[in-house]
Structure 1
Amino acid sequence: MPPHPSSRVQKAREKLAARLREIRKDEGISGRELAVRCGWSESKSSRIENAKTPPSDADIRVWCRACAADDQAADLIAANRQSAEAHVEWRRLQRTGLRRLQETTGDVYQQTKTFRVYVSDVIPGFLQTVGYASALLSSIADFRGTPDDVSDAVAARMRRNEVLSNGGRRFSFVLEESVLRYRLCSAETMAAQLGHLLGAMDLQNVAVGIVPFSEQRAVWPMPTFTVFDDRRVHADTLDAASTLTQPSQIELYTRAFERLSQQAARGAAARALVADAVASLGG
Protein backbone atom coordinates (compact mmCIF):
# COMPACT_ATOMS: atom_id res chain seq x y z
CA MET A 1 0.00 0.00 0.00
CA PRO A 2 1.45 3.43 -0.96
CA PRO A 3 2.01 6.13 1.69
CA HIS A 4 -1.11 7.99 2.78
CA PRO A 5 -1.55 11.31 0.90
CA SER A 6 -1.69 13.13 4.23
CA SER A 7 1.78 13.40 5.76
CA ARG A 8 0.19 13.69 9.23
CA VAL A 9 -1.70 10.43 8.80
CA GLN A 10 1.36 8.67 7.39
CA LYS A 11 3.48 9.82 10.33
CA ALA A 12 0.81 8.55 12.74
CA ARG A 13 0.82 5.17 11.00
CA GLU A 14 4.61 5.01 11.14
CA LYS A 15 4.58 5.87 14.82
CA LEU A 16 2.07 3.08 15.50
CA ALA A 17 4.17 0.62 13.48
CA ALA A 18 7.27 1.58 15.46
CA ARG A 19 5.46 0.98 18.75
CA LEU A 20 4.37 -2.47 17.61
CA ARG A 21 7.92 -3.27 16.55
CA GLU A 22 9.23 -2.17 19.96
CA ILE A 23 6.68 -4.38 21.71
CA ARG A 24 7.91 -7.37 19.68
CA LYS A 25 11.55 -6.58 20.44
CA ASP A 26 10.79 -6.12 24.14
CA GLU A 27 9.39 -9.63 24.12
CA GLY A 28 12.65 -10.80 22.54
CA ILE A 29 11.13 -12.60 19.56
CA SER A 30 11.70 -12.42 15.82
CA GLY A 31 9.15 -11.45 13.20
CA ARG A 32 8.88 -15.12 12.28
CA GLU A 33 8.14 -16.18 15.86
CA LEU A 34 5.58 -13.39 16.16
CA ALA A 35 3.86 -14.64 13.02
CA VAL A 36 3.71 -18.16 14.44
CA ARG A 37 2.20 -16.95 17.70
CA CYS A 38 -0.32 -14.77 15.86
CA GLY A 39 -1.24 -17.45 13.33
CA TRP A 40 -0.52 -15.40 10.21
CA SER A 41 2.26 -15.03 7.62
CA GLU A 42 5.64 -13.49 8.36
CA SER A 43 5.07 -11.06 5.48
CA LYS A 44 1.99 -9.68 7.26
CA SER A 45 4.06 -8.93 10.36
CA SER A 46 6.62 -7.19 8.17
CA ARG A 47 4.01 -5.08 6.35
CA ILE A 48 2.51 -3.94 9.65
CA GLU A 49 5.90 -3.15 11.21
CA ASN A 50 6.94 -1.13 8.19
CA ALA A 51 3.68 0.82 8.00
CA LYS A 52 2.82 -0.74 4.66
CA THR A 53 -0.47 -2.20 5.89
CA PRO A 54 -2.56 -0.56 8.65
CA PRO A 55 -3.43 -3.21 11.27
CA SER A 56 -7.03 -3.88 12.27
CA ASP A 57 -8.16 -3.66 15.88
CA ALA A 58 -8.10 -7.45 16.01
CA ASP A 59 -4.54 -7.53 14.62
CA ILE A 60 -3.38 -5.22 17.40
CA ARG A 61 -5.05 -7.31 20.09
CA VAL A 62 -3.46 -10.52 18.74
CA TRP A 63 -0.05 -8.81 18.42
CA CYS A 64 -0.13 -7.54 21.99
CA ARG A 65 -1.33 -10.88 23.34
CA ALA A 66 1.48 -12.68 21.49
CA CYS A 67 3.99 -10.30 23.12
CA ALA A 68 2.49 -10.39 26.63
CA ALA A 69 1.54 -6.73 26.28
CA ASP A 70 -2.25 -6.86 26.57
CA ASP A 71 -2.18 -3.74 28.74
CA GLN A 72 -1.01 -1.67 25.75
CA ALA A 73 -3.70 -2.80 23.33
CA ALA A 74 -6.33 -0.18 24.22
CA ASP A 75 -3.98 2.76 23.58
CA LEU A 76 -2.70 1.27 20.35
CA ILE A 77 -6.20 0.57 19.03
CA ALA A 78 -7.26 4.13 19.80
CA ALA A 79 -4.13 5.44 18.05
CA ASN A 80 -4.94 3.27 15.04
CA ARG A 81 -8.51 4.55 14.82
CA GLN A 82 -7.61 8.20 15.16
CA SER A 83 -4.64 8.17 12.76
CA ALA A 84 -6.84 9.33 9.88
CA GLU A 85 -8.92 11.72 11.98
CA ALA A 86 -6.70 13.11 14.73
CA HIS A 87 -5.34 16.08 12.78
CA VAL A 88 -7.68 17.67 10.28
CA GLU A 89 -6.50 20.89 8.71
CA TRP A 90 -8.79 23.89 9.29
CA ARG A 91 -8.69 24.73 5.60
CA ARG A 92 -10.33 21.38 4.85
CA LEU A 93 -12.90 21.77 7.62
CA GLN A 94 -13.73 25.33 6.63
CA ARG A 95 -13.44 25.23 2.86
CA THR A 96 -17.25 25.31 2.44
CA GLY A 97 -17.70 27.96 5.11
CA LEU A 98 -18.07 28.05 8.89
CA ARG A 99 -21.72 26.99 9.27
CA ARG A 100 -21.08 23.36 8.37
CA LEU A 101 -18.24 23.16 10.89
CA GLN A 102 -20.62 24.24 13.67
CA GLU A 103 -23.09 21.55 12.65
CA THR A 104 -20.63 18.67 12.31
CA THR A 105 -19.95 18.59 16.06
CA GLY A 106 -23.64 18.52 17.00
CA ASP A 107 -23.83 14.76 17.59
CA VAL A 108 -20.81 14.80 19.91
CA TYR A 109 -22.39 17.60 21.93
CA GLN A 110 -25.68 15.73 22.24
CA GLN A 111 -23.99 12.50 23.34
CA THR A 112 -21.77 14.07 26.00
CA LYS A 113 -22.89 14.34 29.63
CA THR A 114 -19.86 16.10 31.15
CA PHE A 115 -17.89 18.82 29.38
CA ARG A 116 -14.57 20.12 30.70
CA VAL A 117 -13.43 23.20 28.78
CA TYR A 118 -10.19 25.12 29.18
CA VAL A 119 -9.65 28.33 27.23
CA SER A 120 -6.72 30.72 27.12
CA ASP A 121 -7.69 32.91 24.17
CA VAL A 122 -11.42 33.57 23.63
CA ILE A 123 -14.74 33.19 25.44
CA PRO A 124 -15.77 29.51 25.10
CA GLY A 125 -18.20 28.89 22.24
CA PHE A 126 -20.77 27.54 24.71
CA LEU A 127 -20.86 30.91 26.48
CA GLN A 128 -20.70 33.29 23.52
CA THR A 129 -23.32 35.89 22.69
CA VAL A 130 -24.48 36.45 19.12
CA GLY A 131 -22.50 39.69 18.93
CA TYR A 132 -19.25 38.20 20.23
CA ALA A 133 -19.58 35.08 18.07
CA SER A 134 -20.24 37.22 15.00
CA ALA A 135 -17.10 39.28 15.59
CA LEU A 136 -14.95 36.21 16.27
CA LEU A 137 -16.19 34.14 13.33
CA SER A 138 -15.91 37.15 11.00
CA SER A 139 -12.27 37.47 12.02
CA ILE A 140 -11.69 33.76 11.41
CA ALA A 141 -13.40 33.85 8.00
CA ASP A 142 -11.35 36.87 6.96
CA PHE A 143 -8.06 35.35 8.15
CA ARG A 144 -8.65 31.99 6.49
CA GLY A 145 -10.37 33.33 3.38
CA THR A 146 -13.40 31.06 3.77
CA PRO A 147 -16.82 31.68 2.19
CA ASP A 148 -18.72 34.40 4.05
CA ASP A 149 -21.51 32.53 5.83
CA VAL A 150 -20.87 34.04 9.26
CA SER A 151 -24.52 34.83 10.04
CA ASP A 152 -25.52 31.21 9.29
CA ALA A 153 -22.52 29.92 11.28
CA VAL A 154 -23.48 32.05 14.29
CA ALA A 155 -27.07 30.78 14.13
CA ALA A 156 -25.77 27.19 13.98
CA ARG A 157 -23.50 27.85 16.97
CA MET A 158 -26.42 29.22 19.00
CA ARG A 159 -28.51 26.16 18.14
CA ARG A 160 -25.64 23.88 19.10
CA ASN A 161 -25.22 25.71 22.39
CA GLU A 162 -28.75 24.86 23.47
CA VAL A 163 -27.19 21.85 25.20
CA LEU A 164 -26.13 24.31 27.91
CA SER A 165 -29.73 24.61 29.06
CA ASN A 166 -30.08 20.85 29.49
CA GLY A 167 -29.87 20.24 33.23
CA GLY A 168 -28.78 16.66 32.62
CA ARG A 169 -25.41 17.83 31.32
CA ARG A 170 -22.60 19.27 33.41
CA PHE A 171 -20.21 21.98 32.23
CA SER A 172 -16.96 22.93 33.90
CA PHE A 173 -15.08 25.88 32.43
CA VAL A 174 -11.62 27.14 33.33
CA LEU A 175 -10.70 30.48 31.74
CA GLU A 176 -7.48 32.42 31.85
CA GLU A 177 -8.10 36.02 32.97
CA SER A 178 -6.70 37.13 29.61
CA VAL A 179 -9.88 35.80 27.99
CA LEU A 180 -11.80 38.57 29.77
CA ARG A 181 -9.41 41.23 28.51
CA TYR A 182 -8.76 40.40 24.87
CA ARG A 183 -10.78 42.90 22.78
CA LEU A 184 -12.11 41.04 19.74
CA CYS A 185 -15.15 43.25 19.32
CA SER A 186 -16.50 46.67 20.29
CA ALA A 187 -16.58 47.73 23.93
CA GLU A 188 -20.39 47.50 23.93
CA THR A 189 -20.36 43.97 22.52
CA MET A 190 -17.66 42.89 24.97
CA ALA A 191 -19.59 44.37 27.91
CA ALA A 192 -22.67 42.42 26.83
CA GLN A 193 -20.56 39.28 26.49
CA LEU A 194 -19.10 39.62 29.97
CA GLY A 195 -22.58 40.26 31.37
CA HIS A 196 -23.75 37.07 29.68
CA LEU A 197 -20.83 35.22 31.26
CA LEU A 198 -21.90 36.44 34.70
CA GLY A 199 -25.41 35.16 34.01
CA ALA A 200 -24.12 31.76 32.94
CA MET A 201 -22.24 31.49 36.23
CA ASP A 202 -25.63 31.33 37.99
CA LEU A 203 -26.71 28.17 36.16
CA GLN A 204 -26.85 25.08 38.38
CA ASN A 205 -25.15 22.82 35.84
CA VAL A 206 -22.35 25.28 35.03
CA ALA A 207 -19.13 25.82 36.98
CA VAL A 208 -16.79 28.64 35.91
CA GLY A 209 -13.29 29.18 37.26
CA ILE A 210 -10.93 31.96 36.22
CA VAL A 211 -7.15 31.76 36.66
CA PRO A 212 -6.05 35.28 37.72
CA PHE A 213 -3.03 37.06 36.28
CA SER A 214 -1.75 37.35 39.85
CA GLU A 215 -1.80 33.60 40.53
CA GLN A 216 1.61 31.98 40.91
CA ARG A 217 1.46 29.30 38.27
CA ALA A 218 1.95 25.62 39.02
CA VAL A 219 0.82 24.85 35.45
CA TRP A 220 1.56 27.07 32.46
CA PRO A 221 -1.18 28.49 30.19
CA MET A 222 -2.00 26.02 27.44
CA PRO A 223 -3.80 26.00 24.08
CA THR A 224 -7.57 25.61 24.32
CA PHE A 225 -9.00 22.11 24.69
CA THR A 226 -12.28 20.36 25.54
CA VAL A 227 -12.71 16.97 27.23
CA PHE A 228 -15.94 15.16 26.33
CA ASP A 229 -16.81 12.79 29.18
CA ASP A 230 -13.80 10.46 29.35
CA ARG A 231 -14.08 9.47 25.70
CA ARG A 232 -12.36 12.11 23.59
CA VAL A 233 -10.51 15.42 23.57
CA HIS A 234 -10.66 18.22 21.02
CA ALA A 235 -7.48 20.30 20.97
CA ASP A 236 -6.98 23.12 18.48
CA THR A 237 -3.91 24.71 16.96
CA LEU A 238 -3.60 27.45 14.38
CA ASP A 239 -3.53 25.03 11.46
CA ALA A 240 -5.47 21.99 12.61
CA ALA A 241 -8.16 20.49 14.82
CA SER A 242 -7.08 17.41 16.76
CA THR A 243 -9.43 14.70 17.98
CA LEU A 244 -7.69 12.53 20.59
CA THR A 245 -9.14 9.24 21.79
CA GLN A 246 -6.25 7.25 23.27
CA PRO A 247 -6.87 6.57 26.99
CA SER A 248 -3.40 7.91 27.84
CA GLN A 249 -4.09 11.14 25.92
CA ILE A 250 -7.45 11.64 27.59
CA GLU A 251 -5.88 11.03 31.00
CA LEU A 252 -3.16 13.60 30.22
CA TYR A 253 -5.64 16.33 29.29
CA THR A 254 -7.93 15.46 32.19
CA ARG A 255 -5.00 15.78 34.58
CA ALA A 256 -4.04 19.11 33.02
CA PHE A 257 -7.60 20.35 33.42
CA GLU A 258 -7.69 19.37 37.09
CA ARG A 259 -4.37 21.13 37.76
CA LEU A 260 -5.55 24.29 36.02
CA SER A 261 -8.89 24.09 37.81
CA GLN A 262 -7.15 24.04 41.19
CA GLN A 263 -5.63 27.44 40.45
CA ALA A 264 -8.87 29.05 39.34
CA ALA A 265 -10.78 31.65 41.34
CA ARG A 266 -14.45 30.82 41.83
CA GLY A 267 -17.62 32.33 43.22
CA ALA A 268 -17.32 35.94 44.36
CA ALA A 269 -13.62 36.08 43.48
CA ALA A 270 -14.30 35.01 39.89
CA ARG A 271 -17.17 37.48 39.60
CA ALA A 272 -14.89 40.25 40.80
CA LEU A 273 -12.44 39.47 37.97
CA VAL A 274 -15.26 39.71 35.42
CA ALA A 275 -16.53 42.96 36.98
CA ASP A 276 -13.02 44.46 36.79
CA ALA A 277 -12.84 43.53 33.12
CA VAL A 278 -16.21 45.19 32.50
CA ALA A 279 -15.09 48.32 34.33
CA SER A 280 -11.93 48.51 32.22
CA LEU A 281 -14.03 48.81 29.06
CA GLY A 282 -15.12 52.27 30.08
CA GLY A 283 -11.55 53.54 30.44
Structure 2
Amino acid sequence: MSTDHQQGRVALGARLRELRTEADLSGRALAGQLGWVQSKVSKLETGRQTPSPADLDAWASATGSPGAAVELRARLRGLETQYRSWNRQLSGGHRERQEAAVLETRRTQVVRAFESARIPGLLQTADYARHMLAAGCEFIGSPRDTEDAVRTRIRRQEALYDAGRRFHFLVWEAALYVTIGPPEVMAAQLDRLVGLLGLDTVDLGIIPLGSAPRRTPAHGFWIYDERLVIVETINAELWLDSPADIALYRKAWDWLAESAVTGHQAHRLIGRAGASLTPR
Protein backbone atom coordinates (compact mmCIF):
# COMPACT_ATOMS: atom_id res chain seq x y z
CA MET A 1 0.00 0.00 0.00
CA SER A 2 1.30 3.50 -0.83
CA THR A 3 2.48 5.72 2.02
CA ASP A 4 0.14 8.51 0.88
CA HIS A 5 -2.83 6.15 0.98
CA GLN A 6 -1.94 4.91 4.46
CA GLN A 7 -1.48 8.45 5.75
CA GLY A 8 -4.88 9.36 4.33
CA ARG A 9 -6.47 6.35 5.98
CA VAL A 10 -4.91 7.28 9.34
CA ALA A 11 -6.23 10.83 8.95
CA LEU A 12 -9.71 9.48 8.20
CA GLY A 13 -9.46 7.26 11.27
CA ALA A 14 -8.53 10.23 13.43
CA ARG A 15 -11.63 12.06 12.21
CA LEU A 16 -13.78 9.05 13.08
CA ARG A 17 -12.27 8.95 16.57
CA GLU A 18 -12.96 12.68 16.94
CA LEU A 19 -16.63 12.17 16.12
CA ARG A 20 -16.88 9.31 18.63
CA THR A 21 -15.24 11.23 21.47
CA GLU A 22 -17.35 14.33 20.76
CA ALA A 23 -20.40 12.08 21.18
CA ASP A 24 -18.97 10.88 24.52
CA LEU A 25 -19.02 7.26 23.35
CA SER A 26 -16.48 4.59 24.18
CA GLY A 27 -15.28 2.28 21.46
CA ARG A 28 -17.20 -0.56 23.10
CA ALA A 29 -20.42 1.47 23.28
CA LEU A 30 -20.19 2.53 19.64
CA ALA A 31 -19.51 -1.01 18.52
CA GLY A 32 -22.56 -2.16 20.48
CA GLN A 33 -24.79 0.42 18.81
CA LEU A 34 -23.57 -0.58 15.36
CA GLY A 35 -23.59 -4.33 15.97
CA TRP A 36 -19.86 -4.55 15.27
CA VAL A 37 -17.06 -6.26 17.12
CA GLN A 38 -15.03 -3.71 19.08
CA SER A 39 -11.88 -4.52 17.11
CA LYS A 40 -13.48 -3.06 13.96
CA VAL A 41 -13.90 0.31 15.67
CA SER A 42 -10.26 0.18 16.74
CA LYS A 43 -8.99 -0.76 13.27
CA LEU A 44 -10.98 1.99 11.58
CA GLU A 45 -9.78 4.63 14.03
CA THR A 46 -6.13 3.64 13.72
CA GLY A 47 -6.15 3.37 9.93
CA ARG A 48 -5.60 -0.38 9.86
CA GLN A 49 -8.84 -1.00 7.94
CA THR A 50 -10.50 0.94 5.12
CA PRO A 51 -14.17 1.68 5.87
CA SER A 52 -16.92 1.17 3.34
CA PRO A 53 -19.31 4.04 2.51
CA ALA A 54 -21.97 2.23 4.54
CA ASP A 55 -19.59 2.07 7.53
CA LEU A 56 -19.11 5.84 7.35
CA ASP A 57 -22.84 6.53 7.11
CA ALA A 58 -23.50 4.29 10.13
CA TRP A 59 -20.69 5.92 12.12
CA ALA A 60 -21.95 9.43 11.44
CA SER A 61 -25.50 8.47 12.43
CA ALA A 62 -24.46 6.60 15.60
CA THR A 63 -22.33 9.53 16.81
CA GLY A 64 -25.17 12.00 16.31
CA SER A 65 -23.48 13.73 13.36
CA PRO A 66 -25.36 12.54 10.26
CA GLY A 67 -24.22 15.62 8.36
CA ALA A 68 -20.61 14.42 8.68
CA ALA A 69 -21.34 11.50 6.36
CA VAL A 70 -20.82 13.69 3.28
CA GLU A 71 -17.41 14.80 4.53
CA LEU A 72 -16.38 11.27 5.46
CA ARG A 73 -17.42 9.89 2.07
CA ALA A 74 -15.45 12.63 0.34
CA ARG A 75 -12.35 11.63 2.30
CA LEU A 76 -12.88 8.00 1.31
CA ARG A 77 -13.27 8.91 -2.36
CA GLY A 78 -9.95 10.73 -2.12
CA LEU A 79 -8.30 7.52 -0.93
CA GLU A 80 -9.95 5.38 -3.60
CA THR A 81 -8.97 7.76 -6.38
CA GLN A 82 -5.36 6.83 -5.75
CA TYR A 83 -5.58 3.29 -4.38
CA ARG A 84 -8.03 0.96 -6.10
CA SER A 85 -8.06 -2.61 -4.86
CA TRP A 86 -8.59 -5.33 -7.46
CA ASN A 87 -11.24 -6.99 -5.30
CA ARG A 88 -13.32 -3.82 -5.43
CA GLN A 89 -12.58 -2.94 -9.07
CA LEU A 90 -13.28 -6.44 -10.37
CA SER A 91 -16.25 -7.25 -8.13
CA GLY A 92 -18.46 -7.26 -11.23
CA GLY A 93 -15.87 -8.68 -13.63
CA HIS A 94 -13.12 -7.31 -15.88
CA ARG A 95 -15.23 -5.51 -18.48
CA GLU A 96 -15.82 -2.38 -16.39
CA ARG A 97 -12.08 -1.92 -15.80
CA GLN A 98 -11.43 -2.40 -19.51
CA GLU A 99 -14.03 0.28 -20.28
CA ALA A 100 -12.18 2.65 -17.93
CA ALA A 101 -8.98 1.95 -19.90
CA VAL A 102 -10.78 2.79 -23.15
CA LEU A 103 -11.86 6.16 -21.73
CA GLU A 104 -8.40 7.03 -20.41
CA THR A 105 -6.84 6.19 -23.77
CA ARG A 106 -9.37 8.36 -25.61
CA ARG A 107 -8.48 11.27 -23.32
CA THR A 108 -4.77 10.92 -23.99
CA GLN A 109 -2.57 12.13 -26.82
CA VAL A 110 0.70 10.47 -25.73
CA VAL A 111 0.87 7.14 -23.89
CA ARG A 112 4.11 5.76 -22.48
CA ALA A 113 4.11 2.27 -21.02
CA PHE A 114 6.64 -0.15 -19.58
CA GLU A 115 5.99 -3.84 -18.94
CA SER A 116 8.52 -6.30 -17.58
CA ALA A 117 6.70 -9.66 -17.70
CA ARG A 118 3.85 -9.40 -20.21
CA ILE A 119 2.88 -7.79 -23.46
CA PRO A 120 1.12 -4.43 -22.94
CA GLY A 121 -2.66 -4.71 -23.22
CA LEU A 122 -2.82 -2.30 -26.15
CA LEU A 123 -0.60 -4.67 -28.14
CA GLN A 124 -2.19 -7.99 -27.20
CA THR A 125 -3.93 -10.37 -29.55
CA ALA A 126 -7.41 -11.51 -28.58
CA ASP A 127 -6.19 -14.98 -27.64
CA TYR A 128 -3.32 -13.67 -25.52
CA ALA A 129 -5.70 -11.25 -23.78
CA ARG A 130 -8.20 -14.06 -23.23
CA HIS A 131 -5.63 -16.16 -21.36
CA MET A 132 -4.42 -13.16 -19.36
CA LEU A 133 -7.89 -12.09 -18.28
CA ALA A 134 -9.03 -15.62 -17.47
CA ALA A 135 -5.99 -16.06 -15.24
CA GLY A 136 -6.80 -12.77 -13.54
CA CYS A 137 -10.36 -13.92 -12.82
CA GLU A 138 -9.08 -17.13 -11.29
CA PHE A 139 -6.47 -15.36 -9.16
CA ILE A 140 -8.72 -12.60 -7.79
CA GLY A 141 -11.81 -14.79 -7.67
CA SER A 142 -13.84 -12.26 -9.67
CA PRO A 143 -16.82 -13.06 -11.94
CA ARG A 144 -15.84 -14.52 -15.30
CA ASP A 145 -16.78 -12.10 -18.05
CA THR A 146 -13.73 -12.89 -20.13
CA GLU A 147 -15.24 -12.61 -23.59
CA ASP A 148 -16.81 -9.20 -22.91
CA ALA A 149 -13.53 -8.00 -21.41
CA VAL A 150 -11.54 -9.27 -24.42
CA ARG A 151 -13.84 -7.46 -26.84
CA THR A 152 -13.44 -4.24 -24.87
CA ARG A 153 -9.66 -4.57 -24.74
CA ILE A 154 -9.49 -5.08 -28.50
CA ARG A 155 -11.80 -2.10 -29.05
CA ARG A 156 -9.37 0.02 -27.05
CA GLN A 157 -6.69 -0.84 -29.62
CA GLU A 158 -8.50 1.20 -32.28
CA ALA A 159 -6.69 4.21 -30.80
CA LEU A 160 -3.39 2.85 -32.14
CA TYR A 161 -4.51 3.82 -35.65
CA ASP A 162 -5.49 7.38 -34.74
CA ALA A 163 -2.99 9.71 -36.43
CA GLY A 164 -3.44 12.27 -33.66
CA ARG A 165 -1.98 10.01 -30.95
CA ARG A 166 1.42 8.57 -30.11
CA PHE A 167 2.22 5.37 -28.21
CA HIS A 168 5.65 4.61 -26.81
CA PHE A 169 6.13 1.11 -25.39
CA LEU A 170 9.07 -0.43 -23.57
CA VAL A 171 9.04 -4.19 -22.99
CA TRP A 172 11.67 -6.17 -21.08
CA GLU A 173 12.89 -8.97 -23.31
CA ALA A 174 11.90 -11.53 -20.68
CA ALA A 175 8.23 -10.74 -21.39
CA LEU A 176 8.67 -12.27 -24.85
CA TYR A 177 9.43 -15.62 -23.20
CA VAL A 178 6.73 -15.68 -20.51
CA THR A 179 4.37 -18.25 -22.00
CA ILE A 180 0.75 -17.14 -21.95
CA GLY A 181 -1.38 -19.93 -23.36
CA PRO A 182 -0.17 -22.60 -25.81
CA PRO A 183 2.75 -21.98 -28.21
CA GLU A 184 0.49 -21.02 -31.08
CA VAL A 185 -0.97 -18.19 -28.99
CA MET A 186 2.52 -16.91 -28.20
CA ALA A 187 3.60 -17.25 -31.83
CA ALA A 188 0.66 -15.15 -33.00
CA GLN A 189 1.35 -12.59 -30.29
CA LEU A 190 4.97 -12.23 -31.31
CA ASP A 191 3.92 -11.88 -34.95
CA ARG A 192 1.57 -9.12 -33.84
CA LEU A 193 4.48 -7.24 -32.27
CA VAL A 194 6.51 -7.52 -35.49
CA GLY A 195 3.58 -6.12 -37.44
CA LEU A 196 3.35 -3.12 -35.13
CA LEU A 197 7.02 -2.19 -35.61
CA GLY A 198 6.14 -0.37 -38.81
CA LEU A 199 3.10 1.51 -37.48
CA ASP A 200 3.83 5.26 -37.50
CA THR A 201 1.87 5.95 -34.30
CA VAL A 202 3.71 3.28 -32.29
CA ASP A 203 7.27 3.13 -31.00
CA LEU A 204 8.18 -0.27 -29.57
CA GLY A 205 11.44 -0.70 -27.71
CA ILE A 206 12.74 -4.00 -26.35
CA ILE A 207 15.14 -3.89 -23.39
CA PRO A 208 17.58 -6.79 -23.93
CA LEU A 209 18.22 -9.22 -21.10
CA GLY A 210 21.94 -8.43 -21.17
CA SER A 211 21.49 -4.68 -20.90
CA ALA A 212 22.45 -2.59 -17.87
CA PRO A 213 19.79 0.11 -17.49
CA ARG A 214 20.40 2.96 -15.08
CA ARG A 215 16.98 2.24 -13.59
CA THR A 216 16.30 -1.40 -12.69
CA PRO A 217 12.68 -2.15 -13.65
CA ALA A 218 10.64 -2.78 -10.52
CA HIS A 219 7.15 -3.03 -11.99
CA GLY A 220 5.09 -2.06 -14.99
CA PHE A 221 3.57 1.39 -15.30
CA TRP A 222 1.62 3.55 -17.77
CA ILE A 223 1.96 7.31 -18.21
CA TYR A 224 -0.98 9.17 -19.78
CA ASP A 225 0.21 12.52 -21.17
CA GLU A 226 1.66 14.43 -18.23
CA ARG A 227 -1.45 14.05 -16.07
CA LEU A 228 -1.65 10.46 -14.78
CA VAL A 229 0.43 7.40 -13.97
CA ILE A 230 -1.22 4.00 -13.42
CA VAL A 231 0.75 1.31 -11.60
CA GLU A 232 -0.50 -2.24 -11.18
CA THR A 233 0.42 -4.26 -8.10
CA ILE A 234 -0.74 -7.72 -7.10
CA ASN A 235 -3.63 -6.44 -5.00
CA ALA A 236 -4.41 -2.99 -6.40
CA GLU A 237 -3.85 -0.23 -8.92
CA LEU A 238 -2.32 3.09 -7.96
CA TRP A 239 -3.58 6.14 -9.88
CA LEU A 240 -0.99 8.85 -9.33
CA ASP A 241 -1.60 12.40 -10.50
CA SER A 242 0.73 14.58 -8.45
CA PRO A 243 3.35 16.43 -10.56
CA ALA A 244 6.15 14.97 -8.44
CA ASP A 245 5.00 11.37 -8.99
CA ILE A 246 4.47 11.90 -12.70
CA ALA A 247 7.92 13.48 -13.09
CA LEU A 248 9.56 10.58 -11.23
CA TYR A 249 7.89 7.94 -13.41
CA ARG A 250 8.72 9.90 -16.54
CA LYS A 251 12.37 9.92 -15.42
CA ALA A 252 12.22 6.16 -14.83
CA TRP A 253 10.75 5.66 -18.31
CA ASP A 254 13.45 7.82 -19.92
CA TRP A 255 16.22 5.93 -18.14
CA LEU A 256 14.77 2.58 -19.20
CA ALA A 257 14.44 3.81 -22.78
CA GLU A 258 18.19 4.41 -22.93
CA SER A 259 18.76 0.63 -22.92
CA ALA A 260 16.01 -0.29 -25.39
CA VAL A 261 16.54 -1.36 -28.99
CA THR A 262 14.07 -0.60 -31.75
CA GLY A 263 13.50 -1.31 -35.43
CA HIS A 264 15.40 -4.22 -36.91
CA GLN A 265 17.17 -4.93 -33.60
CA ALA A 266 13.84 -5.28 -31.82
CA HIS A 267 12.61 -7.42 -34.71
CA ARG A 268 15.59 -9.74 -34.22
CA LEU A 269 14.88 -10.17 -30.50
CA ILE A 270 11.21 -10.89 -31.15
CA GLY A 271 12.18 -13.42 -33.82
CA ARG A 272 14.58 -15.13 -31.46
CA ALA A 273 11.80 -15.50 -28.88
CA GLY A 274 9.53 -16.96 -31.54
CA ALA A 275 12.15 -19.47 -32.60
CA SER A 276 12.41 -20.72 -29.01
CA LEU A 277 8.76 -21.81 -28.91
CA THR A 278 8.27 -25.56 -28.83
CA PRO A 279 5.03 -27.53 -29.08
CA ARG A 280 3.66 -28.87 -25.83
Q: For the superposition of Structure 1 and Structure 2, which TM-score range results when normalised by the shorter chain?
A: 0.7 to 0.9
2:213–2:255 Cα contact (<8 Å) kept: no
Q: Which residue of 1 aligns with 2:55?
A: none
CA distance in 1, matches of 2:216, 2:11: 28
CA distance in 1, matches of 2:193, 2:93: 27
Q: Which residue of 1 aligns with 2:173?
A: 177
Count of aligned residue pairs for this structure pair: 216
Deviation of 1:83 after TM superposition, in Å, equals: 3.6
Runs of 4+ in structure 1 off by over 3 angstroms are: 7-10, 13-16, 80-84
Supply the AA of the counterpart residue of 1:274. I
Deviation of 1:8 after TM superposition, in Å, equals: 7.5
Q: Which residue of 1 aligns with 2:150?
A: 154
CA distance in 1, matches of 2:78, 2:114: 22
Q: Which residue of 1 aligns with 2:250?
A: 254
2:167–2:201 Cα contact (<8 Å) kept: yes
Instruction: Write out aligned runs for 1:52-63 (5 A).
Output: none
Q: Which residue of 2 aligns with 1:131?
A: 127
Q: Which residue of 2 aligns with 1:35?
A: none
Deviation of 1:267 after TM superposition, in Å, equals: 1.2
> How does the TM-score come out when normalised to structure 2?
0.73
Supply the AA of the counterpart residue of 1:124. P
C-alpha RMSD over aligned residues: 2.3
Q: Which residue of 1 aligns with 2:270?
A: 274
Supply the AA of the counterpart residue of 1:149. D
2:198 paired with 1:235:
no
CA distance in 2, matches of 1:228, 1:9: 21
CA distance in 2, matches of 1:220, 1:15: 34
CA distance in 1, matches of 2:278, 2:163: 35
Q: Which residue of 2 aligns with 1:209?
A: 205
Where 1:254 maps in the other structure, the secondary structure is helix
Deviation of 1:100 after TM superposition, in Å, equals: 1.2
1:231–1:245 Cα contact (<8 Å) kept: yes
CA distance in 2, matches of 1:244, 1:82: 12
Supply the AA of the counterpart residue of 2:187. A
Supply the AA of the counterpart residue of 2:167. F
2:102–2:153 Cα contact (<8 Å) kept: no
Question: 78, 83, 89: which one pairs with 1:87?
Answer: 83
CA distance in 2, matches of 1:220, 1:8: 23
Q: Which residue of 2 aligns with 1:107?
A: 103
Q: Which residue of 2 aligns with 1:43?
A: none
1:82–1:245 Cα contact (<8 Å) kept: no
Q: Which residue of 1 aligns with 2:112?
A: 116
Deviation of 1:84 after TM superposition, in Å, equals: 3.5
1:82–1:243 Cα contact (<8 Å) kept: no
CA distance in 2, matches of 1:219, 1:270: 20
Q: Which residue of 1 aligns with 2:94?
A: 98
Where 2:81 maps in the other structure, the secondary structure is coil
Gap runs ≥5 in structure 1: 1-6, 17-50, 52-79
CA distance in 2, matches of 1:188, 1:106: 28
Deviation of 1:11 after TM superposition, in Å, equals: 2.1
